Amino acid sequence: MHTNLITDLPDLVATELIQTEEYLTFIVDYKTDHVKCPSCGRKVGNIHDRRPKSIQDVPFRDKKVVIKIVKKRYNCKHYDKRAIPKNLKSIPGYSRKT
Protein backbone atom coordinates (compact mmCIF):
# COMPACT_ATOMS: atom_id res chain seq x y z
CA MET A 1 0.00 0.00 0.00
CA HIS A 2 1.34 3.36 -1.05
CA THR A 3 0.55 6.72 0.38
CA ASN A 4 1.13 9.97 -1.36
CA LEU A 5 4.06 11.94 -0.07
CA ILE A 6 2.18 15.19 -0.36
CA THR A 7 -0.34 14.12 2.24
CA ASP A 8 2.37 13.62 4.82
CA LEU A 9 4.92 16.39 4.73
CA PRO A 10 5.51 17.53 8.31
CA ASP A 11 8.31 19.93 7.43
CA LEU A 12 7.03 21.19 4.10
CA VAL A 13 4.11 23.28 2.98
CA ALA A 14 2.49 23.22 -0.46
CA THR A 15 2.36 26.74 -1.86
CA GLU A 16 0.92 26.03 -5.28
CA LEU A 17 -0.86 23.31 -7.22
CA ILE A 18 -0.63 23.08 -10.97
CA GLN A 19 -3.01 20.73 -12.74
CA THR A 20 -2.69 19.55 -16.29
CA GLU A 21 -4.26 16.65 -18.19
CA GLU A 22 -1.50 14.34 -17.16
CA TYR A 23 0.12 15.87 -14.11
CA LEU A 24 -0.59 17.19 -10.67
CA THR A 25 2.35 19.35 -9.69
CA PHE A 26 2.78 20.57 -6.15
CA ILE A 27 5.15 23.41 -5.48
CA VAL A 28 6.37 23.05 -1.93
CA ASP A 29 8.54 25.09 0.38
CA TYR A 30 10.09 24.59 3.78
CA LYS A 31 7.92 25.43 6.74
CA THR A 32 10.91 26.70 8.64
CA ASP A 33 13.52 28.47 6.59
CA HIS A 34 16.53 27.83 8.78
CA VAL A 35 18.69 25.04 10.12
CA LYS A 36 20.52 24.49 13.35
CA CYS A 37 24.25 25.00 12.94
CA PRO A 38 26.14 21.78 13.84
CA SER A 39 29.02 23.89 15.08
CA CYS A 40 27.52 26.60 17.29
CA GLY A 41 23.96 25.31 17.65
CA ARG A 42 22.35 28.57 16.57
CA LYS A 43 19.63 29.00 14.02
CA VAL A 44 21.06 29.71 10.60
CA GLY A 45 19.04 31.39 7.87
CA ASN A 46 21.78 32.40 5.46
CA ILE A 47 21.20 30.52 2.27
CA HIS A 48 24.34 29.08 0.71
CA ASP A 49 22.74 27.70 -2.41
CA ARG A 50 19.46 26.54 -3.87
CA ARG A 51 18.86 23.56 -6.07
CA PRO A 52 15.51 22.93 -7.71
CA LYS A 53 14.41 19.34 -7.35
CA SER A 54 11.52 17.35 -8.72
CA ILE A 55 10.24 14.31 -6.94
CA GLN A 56 7.85 11.84 -8.50
CA ASP A 57 5.14 10.77 -6.12
CA VAL A 58 2.55 8.01 -6.22
CA PRO A 59 -0.10 8.65 -8.91
CA PHE A 60 -3.33 10.19 -7.69
CA ARG A 61 -6.62 9.66 -9.55
CA ASP A 62 -4.88 8.61 -12.76
CA LYS A 63 -2.61 11.63 -12.72
CA LYS A 64 1.09 11.62 -12.22
CA VAL A 65 2.09 13.49 -9.11
CA VAL A 66 5.21 15.59 -9.06
CA ILE A 67 6.54 17.53 -6.10
CA LYS A 68 8.79 20.48 -6.85
CA ILE A 69 11.00 21.89 -4.18
CA VAL A 70 13.99 24.15 -4.08
CA LYS A 71 16.44 22.32 -1.88
CA LYS A 72 18.43 24.79 0.16
CA ARG A 73 21.71 24.69 1.97
CA TYR A 74 22.71 27.22 4.57
CA ASN A 75 25.94 28.57 5.93
CA CYS A 76 27.16 29.88 9.25
CA LYS A 77 30.39 31.70 9.93
CA HIS A 78 31.22 29.19 12.67
CA TYR A 79 30.86 26.23 10.40
CA ASP A 80 33.97 25.71 8.32
CA LYS A 81 32.46 23.14 5.96
CA ARG A 82 30.43 26.07 4.61
CA ALA A 83 27.16 24.45 3.59
CA ILE A 84 24.66 22.94 5.98
CA PRO A 85 22.02 20.91 4.16
CA LYS A 86 18.48 20.93 5.44
CA ASN A 87 17.40 17.43 6.19
CA LEU A 88 13.81 16.68 5.43
CA LYS A 89 12.18 13.85 7.28
CA SER A 90 9.39 13.61 4.78
CA ILE A 91 11.59 12.94 1.76
CA PRO A 92 14.29 10.46 2.72
CA GLY A 93 17.33 10.95 0.59
CA TYR A 94 15.39 12.63 -2.18
CA SER A 95 16.14 9.45 -4.07
CA ARG A 96 12.90 8.87 -5.89
CA LYS A 97 13.71 10.97 -8.90
CA THR A 98 16.22 13.57 -9.95
Q: Which is nearer to Zn ion, 26 or 74 (CB)?
A: 74
Q: Cβ of residue 42: shortest distance to Zn ion, in angstroms? A: 5
CA–CA separation, 66 and 57 (whole Å): 6
37: contact with Zn ion by CB under 5 A: yes
CA–CA separation, 45 and 32 (whole Å): 9
CA–CA separation, 52 and 43 (whole Å): 23
CA–CA separation, 18 and 8 (whole Å): 19
78: contact with Zn ion by CB under 5 A: yes
Residue from 6, 24, 55, 76 touching Zn ion (CB under 5 A): that is: 76
84: contact with Zn ion by CB under 5 A: no
**Contacts with Zn ion, residue ranges (CB under 5 A):** 37, 39-40, 76, 78-79
